[in-house]
Structure 1
């Protein structure tokens, strides 16, 4: 009888130990989400990362952030690495809307939901795209120009983002949709500077060498606008510089009259929304195909 009780007692202890082990295993089974950013050498995407990290912590996810350094080859490698880690969802801010397609198709084959942020993909299966309305934002910049100059003759320089990126295409299309049919508006140069501040400076310097009669510079992001503004100041040109993003550096430049306006986005909100959508997908809730984040023109 004592032997039976002893066996029963040991069995009960073993059962309890197994229960504790299983419970602890569940607690350490952290759900993972992958975030692939085109670059972290840009305050806009750092803010997007910060927003995503904050929301992931709130919802109990481990967020793995990888930097593509504006290189489509590295981007694909990052996406494949995250697929191997069995993430619940992939948040991707593409380097290029065409180059990212093959990588997204690999994620599709692994049945991992893909959410694109800020820039679209031109192919592959995307569960949700989250971005500001870039066409509307470009149009807002164009309307700002008309409000400021009216019927005066306006020579405009447009500094474009990365060729092939949806944000480049949409911001440019929105801007041109407002201004192209105006007889007093002339685009004297439209050149790419890859969303980079130093390249924005170099491109603007080259443009100035050919023509200093410039009234407006519209850059597809704040980083390029800040670079262009530096070149404008160095050459004593009185031009209105308009950026796009609403980053802290641009807001400071507006306060000091180095820039006149920016179309302000909320990159931290885009990052937060990405995690919220990933959580809804994980919980098998329905999600919208496209989600727009608010925009506004910021001036001094």
Structure 2
């Protein structure tokens, strides 16, 4: 009996030592790739209720499938509080790298810092974070985009006219800088008068209501700049319903498919191609570089292109 008891004790100690050895090996593992070679990437999207961001996700998913990356996507529904909870949830899922498209540039800083504390490499796409340490930011030049829109209206209207600006989410760097770039051109063009400037938070329905109100208060409008295509399409619905389609030049931004169709149909004059599908693909490629300890630029700026009826079939968006 004593021999049996001694044998049980020895076996218990051996199992305990083996378990400790396994735990120690797991805790000292280094690098960003899992031992099985699969890279697990978390992608925190600010919203998926917008064709632009849906296309970002689709680009990321397509590239992840091709490169055999395990991609986990969350949707913050434009709620900074929910996005912070999404980030916390992703960090608990044993991801290797975190990609964030912020709902709010200030609010997401806390989420970036949580990733920093967890030693998870993190970077942003499209919109930047106003805090925390990110490895890189991938996006478009929002100032340049605003300049392109302003210059288009300047050329289309020969530098004279009453202008409406429908702004995006001012709590994001993209919303701020697209407006700033646009107003640089407005301020330097003596013949332009901005008769209305209002945010519609990058939302189509909100933009339609904003434009309806502006149309009622402004009997003369020559040009409209909406800081994204969703808002441009909302504004277009209001303009068309008011029977003023022929008197207003409209430009948006992002080159989403419904806006391109509106240009082909002669209802919208222009947009600015900032292809979201390519942004999603670039995000996955960057995550792979980081996982292999390859160097990446602190900021990667993708190209922006004016899209009009003259070049619409040549502009590649996917």
- Which residue, 33, 44, 48 being the options, matches 2:41? 33
Residues 172-230 of structure 1 deviation map (CA, whole Å, 9 limit, x = unaligned)? 11111122122211111111111111011011011112112111110010000000011
Q: Equivalent residue of 2:43, what SS?
A: strand
Q: 1:151 offset after TM fit, Å?
A: 3.8
Flag the 1:277–1:151 CA change in 2: closer, same or farther, 3 A.
closer
Q: Equivalent residue of 1:98, what SS?
A: coil
1-side partners of 2:73 and 2:249: how far apart?
37
2-side partners of 1:265 and 1:284: how far apart?
28
Residues 50-92 of structure 1 deviation map (CA, whole Å, 9 limit, x = unaligned)? 1111111222211001000000010000000000012111111
Where does residue 259 of structure 2 map in the other structure? 250
CA contact (8 A) 2:153 2:159 kept: no
- 2:226 matched to 1:226? no
Residues 113-142 of structure 1 deviation map (CA, whole Å, 9 limit, x = unaligned)? 111111111111011100011111110111
Where does residue 73 of structure 2 map in the other structure? 65
Q: 1:104 offset after TM fit, Å?
A: 0.9
- The Cα RMSD (Å) is 1.3
1-side partners of 2:186 and 2:159: how far apart?
12
- 2:264 matched to 1:265? no
- Which residue, 36, 47, 61 being the options, matches 1:53? 61
Flag the 1:31–1:151 CA change in 2: closer, same or farther, 3 A.
closer
Residues 224-267 of structure 1 deviation map (CA, whole Å, 9 limit, x = unaligned)? 00000111111122201110000000000011122110011111
2-side partners of 1:111 and 1:162: how far apart?
30
Where does residue 293 of structure 1 map in the other structure? 302
Where does residue 144 of structure 1 map in the other structure? 152
Q: What is the TM-score with the length of structure 2 in the denominator? A: 0.84
Q: Equivalent residue of 2:253, what SS?
A: strand
Flag the 1:167–1:151 CA change in 2: closer, same or farther, 3 A.
closer
Where does residue 75 of structure 1 map in the other structure? 83
Where does residue 120 of structure 1 map in the other structure? 128
Where does residue 291 of structure 2 map in the other structure? 282
2-side partners of 1:225 and 1:97: how far apart?
23
Where do 1:186-197 residues align within 5 Å? 186-197=193-204
Runs of 4+ in 1 over 3 A off after TM superposition: none
1-side partners of 2:159 and 2:98: how far apart?
48
> Structure 1, unaligned stretches of length 5 or more?
1-24
Report the number of matched residues.
274
Q: 1:26 offset after TM fit, Å?
A: 5.7
2-side partners of 1:58 and 1:227: how far apart?
36
1-side partners of 2:98 and 2:267: how far apart?
38
> Structure 2, unaligned stretches of length 5 or more?
1-33, 310-318
Q: What is the TM-score with the length of structure 1 in the denominator? A: 0.89
